[in-house]
Amino acid sequence: MKTVLSGARKSAGGKNRRRITILGSTGSVGQQTVDLIERDMDKYEIVALTAKGNVSKLVEQARKLKPRLVVIADEMKYHELKDALADTKIEVAAGAQAIEDSAKIESDWIMSAIVGAAGLPATLAAARRGATIAFANKETLVCAGPLMMKLVAEAGATLLPVDSEHNAIWQVLNPAMRDAVSRIIITASGGPFRTFSREQMVKVTPEQAVLHPVWSMGAKISIDSATFMNKALEIIEAYYLFQMPSEKIDVIVHPQSVVHSMVEYTDGSVLAQLGTPDMRIPIGSTLAWPKRMATPAAKLDLAKLAQLTFEEPDAIKFPALRLAREAMAKGGTAPAILSAANEVAVQAFLDKRIGFLDIVHVNEAALNNIPHAVMNDLEVMMDADQTARRYAATQIELIEDER
């Protein structure tokens, strides 16, 4: 993997300016990335910003950051975006292909923060050109881990994990001592329903599920946290990113969300990364890499916290962790099937078409009933993704019919 950044330009004041592209700039991670950049604008030149459909936020960001290009995924909103920026020199484009093309433009650092499988083509395009990619899009590795890691190796790309858990592991995992790692330990807040009974979980509403007890996240990721599917996907992501077998990846519930993950070595040492639950810390660590940068995140006060607690996850109430390990054992397109079915099921829950506990049932049915294939190329993965989405949609209709 590439370890040296290059191509920085100089500002009028003579300082090096890093060229930045943000895929998904209007989402939660994207907005927090923009927040960090706005605090020291002289250091950065914005190449491109992309968004799914939030024109007003994208226009607001574009006027502040002055990128060369802005892209909206929803082609129906192209003219609205174009008209809103008509008095600027900013180039405007729309559609999935335009987002993928924006990732191909030369930049020094690219944030991949598009939620779900929709972010995969652009992230793969960035990897093909050997880019330095800060990725918050876990589906990149969950759905296409073998393809992504192969591209990274061949093109000399650099992957910098933004998820707080994987970022923590990345910070404390010594590459020179990989053979001495006995396990990596991913922490989980436990979500809003950690202490709920299954009877209570049956009645959970989308409004309750999006209220994460610690982190500020988008709706889809918040639901994943509540079902533990977020941790399931993170296990698969760690499997590919850190090249660790399933039996060396553990999950532990840590409600305070202060210890973001740990690495245990064979000598008994356990190294952990701690910090306040603010995504600007992991984002900043990748934005400044290989250096450090100041962030507005609150400093950690251990004396005030007084205690940190840990507990085993409840495998009965939250079977998603088991599904992740089953998907890894099957290999090939199985993780992509699980992820795609989950996207459809989560949206159905948000739309109040199915119940909270139905999400994992849809996911498990898809994983068990859709044949998995060897992932030879992106087309195989995309076919599995679409098959899983259709299957999940059918399962959701059956659940509705039974109500």
DSSP 300: P
Check whether the bond before 245 is cis (ω within 30° of 0). Answer: no
Range 240-268 burial, b when 16+ CB lie within 10 A, else e: bbbebebeebbbbbbbbbbbbbbbbbeee
Residue 9: its pLDDT value, please?
Answer: 43
Look at residue 198 in the predicted model and tell me its pLDDT: 86
| pLDDT of amino acid 13 | 41
pLDDT in tens, the chain (403 residues): 332 223 344 444 445 799 999 999 999 999 999 999 999 999 999 999 999 999 999 999 999 999 999 999 999 999 999 999 999 999 999 999 999 999 999 999 999 999 877 888 999 999 999 999 999 988 789 999 999 999 999 999 999 999 999 999 999 998 889 999 999 999 998 888 888 988 898 999 999 888 765 555 668 888 998 999 999 999 999 999 999 999 999 999 999 999 999 999 999 999 999 999 999 999 999 999 999 999 999 999 999 988 999 999 998 889 999 999 999 999 999 999 999 999 999 999 999 999 999 999 999 999 999 999 998 888 999 999 999 999 999 999 999 988 7
pTM over 0.85: yes
The amino acid at residue 375 is M
Instruction: Output the pLDDT for position 333.
Output: 95
pLDDT computed for residue 6 by the predictor: 32
Strand 259-265 with 181-188, pairing: antiparallel
Q: State the pLDDT at residue 31.
A: 97
Cα separation, 182 vs 249, in Å, equals 9
Residue 217: its pLDDT value, please?
Answer: 61
Cβ-contact 46, 105 below 8 angstroms: no
In this prediction, residue 139 carries a pLDDT of: 79
According to the model, what pLDDT value does residue 1 have? 30
pLDDT at 7: 37
Residue 183: which residues within 8 A CB-CB, separation 6 or more? 244, 248, 249, 250, 263, 264
* Distance of alpha carbon 380 from alpha carbon 310, whole angstroms: 40
Q: What share of the chain is helix, strand, coil (3-state, %, to 5)?
A: 50, 15, 35
User: Whose CA is closest to 311, among 195, 172, 171, 167?
Assistant: 195
User: By the 8 A CB rule, do 113 and 24 touch?
Assistant: yes
Mind listing the domains of the chain with CATH numbers? 9-161 (3.40.50.720), 166-275+295-402 (1.10.1740.10)
Q: Helix, strand or coil for residue 9?
A: strand
The span from the first CA to the last CA of the chain, in angstroms, equals 52
**pLDDT in the model for residue 15:** 58
pLDDT reported for residue 212: 61
